Amino acid sequence: MPLPDPVLYPPFNIIRLSHVEFVVTDLAASRAFYADTLGLLVTHETDERITLRAMEERGHHCIVLQQGGEASANVLGFKVFAEEELDKAKAYFDGKGLPTSWVERPFQGRTLLTADIHGIPLEFYFAMDRLAPVHQQYALYKGVKALRIDHFNMFSVDVDQAVAFYNEIGFRTTEYTEDEDTKRLWAAWMHRKGGVHDIAFTNGRGPRLHHTAFWVANPLNIIDLLDVMSTTGYLDNIERGPGRHGISNAFFLYVRDPDGHRIEIYCSDYQTVDPDLEPIKWDLKDPQRQTLWGAPAPRSWFEEGSVFTGQAVSEPTLEAQPIIAP
Amino acid sequence: MPLPDPVLYPPFNIIRLSHVEFVVTDLAASRAFYADTLGLLVTHETDERITLRAMEERGHHCIVLQQGGEASANVLGFKVFAEEELDKAKAYFDGKGLPTSWVERPFQGRTLLTADIHGIPLEFYFAMDRLAPVHQQYALYKGVKALRIDHFNMFSVDVDQAVAFYNEIGFRTTEYTEDEDTKRLWAAWMHRKGGVHDIAFTNGRGPRLHHTAFWVANPLNIIDLLDVMSTTGYLDNIERGPGRHGISNAFFLYVRDPDGHRIEIYCSDYQTVDPDLEPIKWDLKDPQRQTLWGAPAPRSWFEEGSVFTGQAVSEPTLEAQPIIAP
Amino acid sequence: MPLPDPVLYPPFNIIRLSHVEFVVTDLAASRAFYADTLGLLVTHETDERITLRAMEERGHHCIVLQQGGEASANVLGFKVFAEEELDKAKAYFDGKGLPTSWVERPFQGRTLLTADIHGIPLEFYFAMDRLAPVHQQYALYKGVKALRIDHFNMFSVDVDQAVAFYNEIGFRTTEYTEDEDTKRLWAAWMHRKGGVHDIAFTNGRGPRLHHTAFWVANPLNIIDLLDVMSTTGYLDNIERGPGRHGISNAFFLYVRDPDGHRIEIYCSDYQTVDPDLEPIKWDLKDPQRQTLWGAPAPRSWFEEGSVFTGQAVSEPTLEAQPIIAP
Amino acid sequence: MPLPDPVLYPPFNIIRLSHVEFVVTDLAASRAFYADTLGLLVTHETDERITLRAMEERGHHCIVLQQGGEASANVLGFKVFAEEELDKAKAYFDGKGLPTSWVERPFQGRTLLTADIHGIPLEFYFAMDRLAPVHQQYALYKGVKALRIDHFNMFSVDVDQAVAFYNEIGFRTTEYTEDEDTKRLWAAWMHRKGGVHDIAFTNGRGPRLHHTAFWVANPLNIIDLLDVMSTTGYLDNIERGPGRHGISNAFFLYVRDPDGHRIEIYCSDYQTVDPDLEPIKWDLKDPQRQTLWGAPAPRSWFEEGSVFTGQAVSEPTLEAQPIIAP
């Protein structure tokens, strides 16, 4: 199955990924992790809900933490180009027979809630509250000094289907892994905002959220976080890294929040704004696509992920490969 | 004069700045500077002309060096979204009464040559030759390890006019300096590709090219370049830096090529893809806009620039300010 | 005048520079600077006196801040190899006719107070209180993350005399600047602990303390400090840098404390433990000895320094050179 | 068995570790590894033998590569304080009944060959040829930009005996691992030159050389090496890292040369010149002593090492522990 042609003029204009809402089981523990350890800035909080932003962001939030009884991911949020794009989006999803509704979300203006073909809850907005810039208030920087949310990575039961769906709404594939035997997609990285990805999909039990990534300036920020986490009681929350992915060329670290939601800290991908940028193809049998330098990932990294609230998880249509693990 | 509203739907779709063509008086000396010292990759060369690209670029060239008798900048190049945008561009410039012609440029497909209202030569193309990615061939990295061309900065005789013109073709202002007395623009930074700028204008004798900038991964790359240039005969080519600009937040270094063309090496600006991103206003009297840490710039940095080939230079309409210099 | 031969077996064994005691005129302001901004750790404090250490130090203090009416430097402290070295030191200084006395210093054991030939107050001890290591308590790191005190730099009225004096007590010259005309020393860098220097002397009105330096892991720590100081009200306290010295190869930044005491933040010198290490000679006319990359130092850097408490300042015996300034 | 008291006044004065001589089976392949990939500078070469130095070293060599039929380590070299120390050393080793001889070594002056109590071949010299400094010839820096040789790490059949032996000749223990059950030493780090170690010993089949380490300026140098090695055919030579050891606090990478000799690239240990520096004790059951961040080491790292030429290898007297491995 060849990679579908990218759609030049999508039915509505998505600018970028924007935010994720997590259900967490101990809000104070999550605040300690995201605000005190990672260093994200709290922009609003109640006894039940905390919103945070990263250092260069002017939108009100990139992470929403909602106290709940069981950990899950409620929804993935995206920003569109203008108010009218929301109406175009509604028409589009309605036309596909996918559920749509206008929902109230504090601080983010008119918001369309919908879902993709595999049931991943998505929400779109244009007018999130804008906050004053703080990126030059250097006394506020701490932890890993995350600059902005970068991407979501999902387990998908059918990556070919996922790529076709997101391709049609304007996401372009930058890199992908193909199963040489079946010629089916194993994994794909797709962008709107001009980096390697806003979203990515990997074959696996899904739909589940594998990780949410934040962009930092350089590898030393990541080393600083490792030093702090390993000496302040978060040693077991360090899951994988530091290392470099072959795919995306990212220097990475994966950590787990107190509920197991996986966060990637990430730097050094590349600019992808050219509409004729050729996707880079990787062979599923090439271990360097996963890890350029050769260190294995732990089994948990291949197997665990956050469920989407209320969404059943299914087996993938493409049979799982042996994990390249220790 | 208030900042004009950004145009949401421009008459043609420019993706990003792409390349500059310099006339140089000693091609071998320029090759030694750009290829051997900065570390850009030569993609084609003849006795008269050399093209180069940066490490993550897949387009054929970002710098063209043309042997000539007198140093100048021939043209600034931009990539558009699709072939048909070139025709829309021609119609637009024709409608403005600005000169247009289709020109032959090796390796870059159909190319429209035109000029802006102040006479800066511009060229637009869609289909530059694409080269294989080399960003993971790490043995090729040397010098400052420049990843991509980032922006052009120009002296303008009337920044208000320049901003109005480029705003109409889709460039959005991210930061600007206003003269508090006259309420006129002193300088402005404008983008298409989602960073702080593709182009910028500063009040001064113009039109002239102040500098062409390259993006690097982190400040240590810049320190490496300083160490090499200062110990290999290029000490006098180091003009300003390292330092951090208030405007754009960039960590910067300015160097001069053997003909005096100014190159900025640059990292750590921020993402600007939000269409509702509020421009940041700086006061002309705030010295930290220029240099966050307080070190003065040399006089040459305020006064010197590359002329555009065949373009006369005029005095600005807004009277020059005293230079904040040593 | 040739550089004197190093003394292989000195009369007593000094291990390293250890600490400086500053008189400061506003102890709270100094605490904000040294502890909150630079990030040194407070190890003891009263209303009149604060002691601090750097992150990898286990000795009780490297800086002592003493409230007083007029800013000055009280004394430079050095650690010796064993208790009996203190008695040898007393005999040595007594033999030279220099003042000696045993003084009480909190937390630092038996302490010999004396002075060098130009009146710089020196104190020697062996048994400073030892504190538990904190270098792996990464949550404590902040500010510039200084790891240890590195050296003192003094203005000297006669560098030849100073070098001869300190050479005799075991300090070895690693680099020096000679006045080609008079063949006299203009400046010299001398070590005990195996780096480029514990102490240095530059020709000038003296005796005065030019600066006290702290060692950090890499240049990004220094860039972080610049960002914080320039955006938290300390812009005017940034005096010079970042840059690289030719002499010592150090990447440096000079800042001034609230009383004007000068602090250097410094990394990347080299190991000097070989007893046959050849001193590197620099010509006073070579501007790269001062600044490898060519940026000028401000006039204050050449002229200002901390007086030693109660010590008159004299003109140097070698006529001052024109400052290589902006 | 308590840690022995350090000897304050050793029988002869060793300054630092100096060099290692490896037998390699393909000199051209080894040259490609050490000179072209790691970036060490070749200081002399014949068809049979190559000597190299690191960037800040002025001694003639820190690595000697000798063509041979079977890979091994010939000898570990140390520099003493003065010529007469060699004679004291000879008397000392003769007195212990250990073999001594004066040997010819090109470029390193009078050299005493001997061995420690477990048969590790040692050589001592004072007057190695001195070369001109190149640390400011920045155009010569490449590869991992190693600044100097830092330490040797050995497998020892009896670490208590090894520590007692080297302690008596002036090496001081900075950190050590104790087996809580037997109260015997599992591993120890010992220095002469003022860093965490010149030599270290770990319980295991010995005597064997576990690794030879080089010091670099910062972690980004190590990341650069990983990128280059993983994309130039040296992927399988990357054995472990990047990571941080709990012991020594080092940021590390372990690579293997074409014959399997293990090289550590290393930064960020701490200064240890204080004679009263308290050794840091680690529990053998604490996995963070090995790896602060928790990533496991591969089995090869625990088991493999270079034999010393002509030395039989024995089982350790302290029973091996289960490896803390993937």
Cβ–Cβ below 8 Å for B226 and C251: no
C84/C91 Cα distance (integer angstroms): 11
Structure tokens at D325: 């491995």
**Chain B contact for A224, CB < 8 A?**
no
- On whether the CB atoms of residues A23 and A73 are closer than 8 A, the answer is yes
- Reported as type and span, the H/E element at residue D195 is none
Vertex C147 angle, CA C143 and C153, to 5°: 100
Neighbours of D101 (CB within 10 A): 10
Tell me the pLDDT band of C326, cut-offs 50, 70 and 90: very low
Which residues, including other chains, have CB under 8 Å from residue C2's CB and lie 6 or more apart?
none
**Chain A contact for B205, CB < 8 A?**
no
Instruction: At D113, give phi and psi (nearest 5°).
Output: -100, 130
Q: Is the same domain home to A185 and A106?
A: no
Q: Is the same domain home to A212 and A279?
A: yes
Give the SS3 label for residue D215. strand
Residue burial C113-141, b: 16+ Cβ < 10 Å; e: rest: bbbbbbbbbbbbbbbbeebebbbbebeeb
Q: Is the same domain home to D156 and D35?
A: no
Reply yes or no on whether the pLDDT at D211 is more than 60.
yes
Q: Is the residue at D297 inside a domain?
A: yes
Instruction: List, for residues D220-254, the tens digit of each pLDDT value.
Output: 999 999 999 999 999 999 999 999 999 999 999 99
Domain end position, chosen among D72, D99, D131? D131
Which residues in chain D have Cβ-Cβ distances shorter than 8 Å to A295?
A: 295
Range of the domain at B112: 14-129
Q: For chain B, percent helix, then strand, then coil, each to nearest 5? A: 20, 35, 45
A22/A72 Cα distance (integer angstroms): 6
Instruction: List, for residues C142-177, the tens digit of each pLDDT value.
Output: 999 999 999 999 999 999 999 999 999 999 999 999
Q: Is the residue at D314 inside a domain?
A: no
A216 closest CA partner among A37, A21, A17, A38: A38
Tell me the pLDDT band of A23, cut-offs 50, 70 and 90: very high
Domain end position, chosen among D131, D158, D177? D131
Q: Is the same domain home to B155 and B180?
A: yes
Reply yes or no on whether the pLDDT at C306 is more than 70.
yes
Q: Is the same domain home to C163 and C74?
A: no
Q: Is the same domain home to B107 and B165?
A: no
- When divided into structural domains, chain B yields a total of 2
What Å distances lie between residue B106 and A42, A282, B97, B110, C307, CA to CA?
53, 31, 27, 10, 68
For residue B83, the model assigns a pLDDT of 97
**Chain B contact for A134, CB < 8 A?**
no
Q: Is the same domain home to A55 and A172?
A: no
Side chain identity at residue C98, one-letter code: L
Q: Is the residue at D20 inside a domain?
A: yes
Q: Is the same domain home to B125 and B156?
A: no
Q: Is the same domain home to A36 and A71?
A: yes
**Chain A contact for B317, CB < 8 A?**
no
Is the complex ipTM more than 0.90? yes
For residue D43, the model assigns a pLDDT of 98
- Distance from the Cα of C157 to chain D's closest Cα (Å) equals 30
Q: Is the residue at D5 inside a domain?
A: no
Q: Is the residue at B53 inside a domain?
A: yes
Q: Is the residue at D197 inside a domain?
A: yes
Tell me the pLDDT band of D269, cut-offs 50, 70 and 90: confident
Q: Is the same domain home to D65 and D114?
A: yes
Share of chain A above pLDDT 70, in %: 98
Q: Is the residue at B314 inside a domain?
A: no
Residue of D216, D291, D293, D301 to mutate for A, most A C-beta atoms under 10 A:
D293
Which residues in chain A have Cβ-Cβ distances shorter than 8 Å to C137?
A: 231
With both helix axes pointing from N to C terminus, report the angle between D219-230 and A219-230 in degrees, rounded to the nearest 10: 110
Residue of A nearest to C141 (CA): A228
Cβ–Cβ below 8 Å for C193 and D194: yes
Which of D79, D147, D275 is nearest residue C270 as measured by Cβ atoms? D147
Q: Is the residue at A315 inside a domain?
A: no
Share of chain B above pLDDT 90, in %: 90
**Chain C contact for D293, CB < 8 A?**
no
Neighbours of D171 (CB within 10 A): 23
The CATH number of residue B125's host domain is: 3.10.180.10
Reply yes or no on whether the pLDDT at C2 is more than 80.
no
**Chain B contact for D228, CB < 8 A?**
yes
What Å distances lie between residue C84 and C110, C111, C211, D296, CA to CA?
11, 12, 30, 47
Structure tokens at A7: 């759609």
Domain end position, chosen among A85, A108, A131? A131
- Look up the pTM and report it: 0.97
Cβ–Cβ below 8 Å for C293 and B226: yes
**Chain D contact for C292, CB < 8 A?**
yes
| Mean pLDDT of the residues in chain A | 95
Q: Is the same domain home to D160 and D225?
A: yes
Tell me the pLDDT band of A261, cut-offs 50, 70 and 90: very high
**Chain D contact for C82, CB < 8 A?**
yes
Instruction: List, for residues D175-191, the tens digit of each pLDDT value.
Output: 999 998 899 999 999 99
Q: Is the same domain home to B159 and B301?
A: yes
| Mean pLDDT of the residues in chain C | 95
Instruction: List, for residues C179-226, the tens digit of each pLDDT value.
Output: 988 999 999 999 999 999 999 999 999 999 999 999 999 999 999 999
Strand pairing partners for B282? Answer: B177
